[in-house]
Structure 1
Amino acid sequence: MNGNTKECNNDNKHFLDSSNIHYCRGNTNERSETDKRSYECLYPGCAVIAKSYKEYITHRKTHGQPFIYECKVPGCGRTFHHDSSFRSHKQTHEPKPQCEGCGKFFATRITLQHHKKICKTKSQNETQFGHSSQA
């Protein structure tokens, strides 16, 4: 097994890129050991799901170069020639991270993490001094 793959907890599919995991669909019912690992081809119109990384790479070569990535989110179907563009696009389908403390939304998880440090500090100061900055 390639150490760079990420596994979906819903149905044990493996993906080369952790951002592909949100495409992972399936149920949580137990499956036989032979059905647990699979790799979904992202080429437009291709529905192949390989059972091993080696099988996936062999299959991928049948599509020629350059490899085209297709967004498989229902209703989208956009295609990309570069993995980085594809990964960036996929974020548009993900919910925006939100602060539980104040309800603000953020473009990335990293900006939310930075905000949480400030938001937590602000909340602690308001509690400590017995007032709120909200009017």
Structure 2
Amino acid sequence: MTLAFLQLDETGVYVTGAGYAPALGENMVAAPEGRDPSEFLRHYYLDGFLVPRPQPPLPVRIPGGWQVGGCPLGTGIAVYDVTGGEILDYFTASSGGQDYEFALPDAGTYRLEIDAPDPFTDVKLTIEVP
């Protein structure tokens, strides 16, 4: 018989893996019964309950460009020009709630990577500028 499990990080808070095994090993807990364990890869334990990790703020269009508003302290944001193969900008929030604004003036494909501190998930997205 195999058990559905969730692999936790060293703190026992964040789910870092999921699958099936004949027995639970170190830093493993049983997945909720009757559910596919992979459903919980973006979850963590909060006050003893398994809950989805929040997403960091996402970019929104503003006049003249884009804004990622209300970034948690320590959030890193990288803007890549995929077409040109270069990093255009890197921002690190030095205080909580900080806004980051950027422009993509040329037509092309851009990748935005938002690396927020725990418990937030990381986000990678593509922006096409016609």
Per the normalisation by structure 1, the TM-score is 0.22
| Greater RCO, 1 or 2 (C-alpha within 8 Å, sep 6+) | 2
Kindly indicate which of the two structures has a greater share of residues assigned to strand: 2
Kindly indicate which of the two structures has a greater share of residues assigned to helix: 1
